[in-house]
Amino acid sequence: MVNRYVAALVRELEMVAADLQPRTIFFGGGTPSILNLRQWETVLGAMDRLGLTGADEWTVECNPATLSLDKAKLLRAAGVNRISMGVQSLDAGLLERLGRVHSREMVFKSYDCLRAAGFERINLDLMFAIPSQTMEIWKASLRETADLEPEHLSCYEVIYEQDTPLYEQLQAGEFEVHEDLACDMFEELVQFAGERGFHQYEVANFARHSGSGVDNGGFEIPSEACRHNINYWRGGDYHGLGPSATGYVGGIRTTNIANTQGYCEHIERNERAIDHTEQLSSLRRAAETAAFGLRMNAGWPFADFQKTTGHDLRNGWADTMQELVEQENGVLESERFRLTPKGLRFADAAAAEFLR
């Protein structure tokens, strides 16, 4: 089935290649590193043939259990210049609770493989507020992760998704959710990351900075920030390929068929495997752009927002911004609106206000 999927992905690439000049590429939303060397050679060879390599930033998500030195070297030679590795935790008990297939030893081994293959930009993903995770365990994972000296950290509060071991344990009453501890862990993360040389530029993302970042209206985005995600948060266009992939081009959102077999069947009939298409109104598009962009520490400079969306944030959402200011969740400045550190902690709630 994996070979069939790879063939379908290559065919979908061929279908859209004429419309693409990618500045950033992101292989993720699953475990791309599970592909074997021959399968990766097929995908990378197709991208080279179609003129889709050479992006400024090309990221591949990896699981520590499915990475080898040969695979890392192959990716690096093809032009991949950034790896995002799902560590989640460096506590053996928590990895087991999360149902992860990798061990803490695999994390260190895979990290060494990436450095040996020549990767100079590595992002490590961590989770906090995992059931039975104490503050001491969280601090230890942060410390050990920072000691590896990655260029980027992404740290997310655990989500209870259906059909996962964690969700089943929650439903069975095996643990309780402690929101206060989750808040404390987030505050510890922000403080620790700052002390270790990481700059928070989005709710969950922290990057090192060499002094040559992108100026965002007076807020410098760190040089090692993920450019692909910044484009997403700032309302830029992007194409989505593969099962379940979402694309957003010219105000039109498309979502591919989620079922892998169904996806392959459509592609094999030389049809795009699009399951759903949505034409966003100008106002709806602007509201979503406001909501996602406010996840960044820089917030939204009014001039940038108007250039991106054609709308003035101060006209359509003045009451919403004032309400957030009164709650001490927002800061209204002459040239921008941004969330406070407290507001960033609850950025999803702030986003919902802009989307109402």
Residue 1's pLDDT band (cuts 50, 70, 90): confident
Per-residue pLDDT, 162: 74
Tokens encoding 102 = 């990798």
Find the helix packing angle between 37-49 and 2-16, rounded to 10°. Answer: 10
Per-residue pLDDT, 201: 96
pLDDT tens digit sequence for 96-140:
888 888 999 999 999 999 999 999 999 999 999 998 899 999 999
Which has more pLDDT, 60 or 97? 60
Mean pLDDT of 198-209: 96
| Site of tokens 């090192």 | 208
**Domains of the chain from N-terminus onward:** 21-233 (3.30.750.200), 282-355 (1.10.10.920)
pLDDT tens digit sequence for 323-354:
999 999 999 999 999 999 999 998 999 999 99
- State how far the Cα of 97 lies from the Cα of 166, in Å rounded to an integer: 7
Tokens encoding 36 = 């074997």
- 124 in Cβ contact with 145 (< 8 Å): yes
